[in-house]
Structure formats: structure tokens, C-alpha cells
A and B are shown apart, each in its own frame.
Chain A
Amino acid sequence: MLHWLTLMADSLPSLLWAALVFTVPLTLASFALGLIVGLVAAVVRLFGPAPLAAVVRFYVWIIRGTPLLVQLFLIFYGLPSAGIVLDAFPAALIGFTLNVGAYTSEIIRAVIGSVPKGQWEAAYSIGMSWSQAMRRTILPQAARVAVPPLSNSFISLVKDTSLAAAITVPELFQAAQRIVATSYEPLILYVEAALIYLVLSSVLSAMQVRLEKRLNQYGGFLEAKS
């Protein structure tokens, strides 16, 4: 028992370090980039020319229809055969970004579509252009509806980054694997890794609750002032 606690205490710094240097940045960066991809993809599908919308549909179909692990392997191990060699971290970043982009584009498309047509008309009627209407009127309202589903994607992503271990990114889960290889204590180390993931996703859930509260003030609407 004491032996276990010592092992936990000894391994904690390297696991936290791996989380801090790889898991968290990978999560934040790929979510931020993925949201941009998702927004652009959603707008193209809703408002873009038909051929471009078809390209986006194809992209979403591929990403949603194939396993994330396979996508990561394709990017990291497969692309070099086509002459594209990527380091592990950028490969993971690209893989997760594409993944987040595909899933969030569906969410964003739905929430933009959920804003009543009359809001577009009201915006146009006071002289706004399409992009002004989108930025000032539609997106703020869509954002509020999007918080719960986007939070889900975000929390899934934190956990999914553990797949990056399989393409040699030394993130949290891989750090645990390495210590297991020398200490032969899989139970304790994987429990420890799981607990750290649990803390990370709980922090995100708490942030979601706070954000929702803020957005729900005053009869349903309070835009984050920019």
C-alpha cells in the first residue's frame, strides 16, 4: 500500500508534466483550430456554392465515418509514403483539428440554422450586410445554443488526445505507459492517468456550467461583451 502511494507520488510530476506540455496544449490548439474549421465548413455548407458545399460534405463524411485512430495513423505513418513527413505533434494536431472541425461543423450548422429567419431580416432591415448580420446578430445567438454540444466535443477531445500516444506523442497516457514499462505497476499508473483526465474534464465541465449561467441571464440572453 505504501509502496503504491510512493509510486504514485514519484510518477505524478512526470505525468503532470506530460499533461501540461502535451495534452493540454494539444487539446486547446486543436479545439481552437477545429472550431475555425468547423465554422468555415458550416458557413460553406449553409451559404456556399454547391460544389464547395459538396467538398465539405465529403470531408465530414470521411472524418465521421472512419476511426480517429486510423486517421492519426494515416497522417503520421501513411503520409510519409506520399512524401509528406510530419513530426508526431503536428501530425496529431492536424488529425485532431480535422476531427474537431468535422464534428463541430455539424453542431454549428444546426445552431446557425436554429436562429429564426426574422433575425436575419431585422438585421438586413437596419442596413447590415451579410457578414455584419452574421457577426452581430446570428452568431451571438447561435453561440448560446451551441455551448452544451460544443462543450461535449471539447471534453471528448481531452480524452481522445490519449490516442496520440499511439503515434509517439509523449502526452499524459504515453508517459504513464513508459513508467509502467519499468515499474510493472499498470493498475496504479493507469488509475493515476485516469484521475488526471478526470480532473481535466471536470474543470471543463465546470467552465461549461459557468459559461451557460452567464449566457442565460436576463430571460435568456446576455451576450459576452466583446
Chain B
Amino acid sequence: MIRLSNIEKRFGDLTVLKGVSVTVAEGRVTALIGPSGGGKSTLLRCINLLEIPTSGTVRIGEEELSFQPGGKPGWKDIQRLRGQTGMVFQNFQLFPHRTAVENVMEGLVTVQKWPAEKARDRAMALLRKVGMDHKADAWPATLSGGQQQRVAIARALAPSPRVLLCDEPTSALDPELSGEVVEVLGTLAAEGTTMVMATHDLRLASRIAHEVVFLDGGQIVESGPSQTLFTHPTRERTQRFIATLTQQGQRGEGA
């Protein structure tokens, strides 16, 4: 279970998250939606502490860390929490100087000090899972965007994180390539992988998210099960936003 309590994040004078509280149950997929600049990425990055919350509490499984303005958490504490997470980035961020399989092995070998052979076995199994084992020895630069993102998903899963954080995993891909990524994420969701993902991709969100959180101006406007939130949003602000997403989606498909 992941519980964010009263997360506040300030960049200088700008308050980007204004006391956000979210709970994600084990094995569930939560989509963060909302207009650009609403704080989706920042919230995700506060979960794996790429951004340190100004205040609030992050709990992942048994690990919990609280933040206060001015107080800086120790490196050990950050590692302890971050170790529970894996992250998938909008623009993949594979290590360009390592092959696909080396990318997936990297965390196991460097951080967890696994022997190379064991790490390679696990990496190959993960590449098989995302349908990329035939490209194990390829360089990232030679892969399509969708293929790179699938390798990146395998890399994020390698250390067996408790939660997979995805920041717009499909938005750098054209619809065809994003389909293969949605499919992989859908399989993971079906297997009970806990996920939190920021997305503008209605297809992705409606297909695999159980819960949806609508974030605007650094606050949660509305949240709930994806079925009801997408079809019967209660807040007017949410209705408008989902209407624009739907229009965009239709336009995108028509093109």
C-alpha cells in the first residue's frame, strides 16, 4: 500500500502541490490526470523522492518517511523508500551506452550486487515479458520508441519494486507504438502490479486504471473508480477536462 499524506511541494515561491493525500492499494492501478502544470509529474516524483516534498508523509509498504520544511532526509532513508519504486519516464531515458539487456541488468548488478549471470537471467525473463527478448543485445539508439519504452519498463521492474511509477509512458509515442506499450502495461496490471501513472492518454487510463485522481493546480479536485469518474464526473471542472480529453482522443484517432 502507498499512502501519501498532506504532500506539499514548493519550488521557491511557487507551491506546486498543496497538501495532496492519496492512498493506493496493493495491486491497484491509479491514474493521475489533469491539465498541464497541475502537478502530476511532481507528485509522482515525490513518491520516489526525485523531488523531496516540502512537507508531508510518504509511506510505501512498511517504509515511511516524513518531511518538514528545511529538514533534509538522509541518503539512507531516501534509498530505503526509493528502493520500493521503479520509474518509467516519458522519454524512456534508457542508458544509451548499454544494450537492452544491460539496461535491465544495471540496477541488479550495480545496486543489488547480483552476479552478472543471475542478473542476466532475470533481465532476459523480464525482456521476454515485455516482448523484447529478441532485441536483448540491441543498442537503444537502434530501437523504436515503443521498443525503448518496453525495455525501460523491464528495467524499472528488475529490482522487484512494490510500485511502478509511470510518467506519461505513452505520450512520446505515436498511436501505433503507444498501443504496444499500453498492452504491456495492461498485462502488468492484470498480474497485479501496483502502479501510479500520470497520463493524458485516455485509452491508457480507461483501459488499465482502477482509480483515477484528477489533479489541478496542485490539488485533488476529484478522485474515484475509473468507471464512474470517466463516465459520471461530479465536479464541473472534471467534466470539462474529460470532455476535452475525449475530443482530443477522437481527433487523434480520426487523423
State the A residues within 8 Å of B (CB).
116, 118-119, 121-129, 132, 136-137, 140-141, 144, 218-223
Interface set of B (CB-CB < 8 Å, partner A): 48, 50, 75, 79, 82-83, 85-87, 89, 91, 93-98, 106-107, 110-112, 139-142, 155-156, 158-159
With a cutoff of 8 Å between Cβ atoms, the chain A residues found around residue B158 in the complex are 126
> Given the interface contacts A124-B50, A127-B111, does A137 sit within 8 Å of B95 by beta carbon?
yes
Residue contacts A-B, CB under 8 angstroms, 17 given: A118-B89, A121-B93, A126-B86, A126-B155, A127-B79, A127-B82, A127-B111, A129-B75, A136-B110, A141-B96, A218-B142, A219-B140, A219-B141, A219-B142, A220-B139, A221-B140, A222-B97
Partner of A127, one of B89, B98, B107: B107
Chain B's closest residue to A126 (CB) is: B107
Chain A residue contacts of B159, Cβ below 8 A = 126-127
- Which of chain B's residues have a CB closer than 8 A to the CB of A118? 89, 91, 93
Q: Residue among B48, B97, B112, B142 with the most chain A CB within 10 A?
A: B97
Could you tell me if B96 and A128 are in contact, using CB atoms closer than 8 angstroms?
Answer: no
Contact B50 A141 (CB under 8 A): no
Please give me the residue from chain B that is nearest to A224 by CB atom.
B97
Instruction: Let me know if A127 and B50 touch, CB within 8 A.
Output: no
Chain B proximity of A29: nearest CB distance (Å): 29
Q: Are B75's CB and A122's CB within 8 A?
A: no
**Given contact pairs A118-B91, A219-B139, A126 touches B50 in the complex (Cβ within 8 A):** no
Cα A180 to Cα B93 with chains together (Å) = 61
A222 CA to B85 CA, complexed, in Å: 29
- Cβ-defined contact, A128 with B93, below 8 A: no
| A223: B residues at CB distance < 8 A | 97-98
Q: Which of B85, B89, B96, B106 contacts A220 (CB 8 A)?
A: B96
User: Do residues A221 and B141 form an inter-chain contact, with CB atoms below 8 A?
Assistant: yes
